Amino acid sequence: MNPARFRVLVSGVLIVGVVTSAILILVGFVGSIFVGWDGSFAGLPVAASRASDFSAVFSGLGALRPIAFAQLGLLVLIATPVVRVATSVLAFASERDWLYTAITLLVLGILLVSLFVIR
Amino acid sequence: MTTGPELGIFVISAVAGVIGALAGVGGGLFVVPALTSLFGVDIRLAIGASIVSVIATSSGAAAAYVRDRLTDMRVGMFLEVATTSGAIAGALLAAVVAPSLLFILLGIVLLFSAVQQVFKLREELPPVAVASPLARRLGLISSYPDARLGREVPYTAQRIPLGFLLMGFAGLVSGLLGIGSGALKVLAMDGAMRLPMKVSSATSNFMIGVTAAASAGIYLARGDVDPTIAAPVAIGVLAGATVGARLLPRLANRHVRWVFIPVLVIIGLQTLGRGLGVRL
């Protein structure tokens, strides 16, 4: 992979992440104005939940709740830098730049440890 | 629910996004005080929203900076080893270290750096230097297209061990105190490693998202990220960062400092204030 394609790839990952999250958050935000954060686009009864509780995100999506769309959008936003680092590992490897493949793998490892191990 | 406060949060976040994209920092320095003092948001949720704003500034601006070759991805990846491990060390130390003295020290460092920056206001590009063997080994020699000067500007990273050390410190501080490591990153790249200002800012922007994502898991688990507040912040910051990222290539390196110095002064005063128990 030449440097120009590498840049297009990394930039593309960031753009896809940012646009996807922005659309999801906007859907949730606009929806909250019409049916309320805990309402439902499908007209289901209002669910009393804590907005900052992300564990209900998928059941909330099933019920088409604005809060769940915003939560998913925020999760996509937070995941974007992690995906960007993971993509860079592959890109450096395909360039056969083993020094930077190792450096980037190290960063990815540290990142995953801090995300999932340290509490 | 009315849409009044959300509109205000959106506008302030958009301004934070523009300035953050230009100066290489996340928008936390504007978002947190605005949310707490103007909109009465709990400080815990305001900090949760500011983590989101840092990631939004970073990804929103870096998408353009990477494409425009302003971001030095090798410098960024290499230094992320220092910032992410520093951030973990800081998060672990946070339980044992009393932070008030650290806040005071960091505040003084930032204000001192702001004064130092004033003396560099007339410098458009760092003096040309010979690439060190380490810079060659690590591939930290590059160039960027300067739209303002209308030419390709070559540069090489200098004093790499010092820059790496300062980056570890930046990570440590952000993990320990939960504040603006972006300013310290720009200072390390501009001051220690002598990268051109626009490259420093764009590379800092590229990096702060990773540092923030590393701690975002902790904030999510604690329930500090409230979408009803973070959603308008994220949308506003993304819009602002997109605009800022279009401005930076056209600005002179000197002009970027005009944005960066007030940012340094504000963060410096806020940090000092926290150490002294005054909330600014």
User: What is the pLDDT, as a whole number, of residue B1?
Assistant: 43
ipTM given for this complex: 0.92
- pLDDT by 10s per residue, chain B, length 280: 445 688 899 999 999 999 999 999 988 888 988 999 899 899 889 988 988 999 999 999 999 999 999 999 999 999 999 998 898 888 788 777 777 888 888 899 899 999 999 998 888 899 888 889 999 999 999 999 999 999 999 999 999 999 999 999 988 888 777 666 799 999 999 999 999 999 999 999 999 999 888 878 888 888 889 999 999 999 999 999 999 999 999 999 999 999 999 999 999 998 898 888 876 5
B124 touches chain A (CB under 8 A): no
pLDDT per position as a tens digit, A70-81 = 999 999 999 999
Question: Confidence band (pLDDT; 50, 70, 90) for A118?
Answer: low
Cβ–Cβ < 8 Å for B240, B21: yes
A82 touches chain B (CB under 8 A): yes
Question: Tokens standing for B41?
Answer: 């948001």
The chain-wide mean pLDDT, for chain A, equals: 90
**Is B59's CB within 8 Å of A118's CB?**
no
Which of A23, A74, A118 should we substitute to test contact with B (largest number of B Cβ atoms within 10 Å)?
A: A74
B141 touches chain A (CB under 8 A): no
State the CB neighbour count (10 A cutoff) for residue B15: 18
pTM of the model: 0.92
CA–CA gap between residue A19 and residue A2 (Å, rounded): 26
What sign for the dihedral angle of Cα B187, B167, B149, B59?
Answer: negative
Q: Chain B residue closest to A49 (CA)?
A: B226
Which residues on A lie below 8 Å from B212 (Cβ)?
Answer: 81
CA–CA gap between residue A105 and residue A85 (Å, rounded): 8
User: What is the pLDDT, as a whole number, of residue B44?
Assistant: 87
User: What is the pLDDT, as a whole number, of residue B3?
Assistant: 52
Q: Chain B residue closest to A54 (CA)?
A: B220
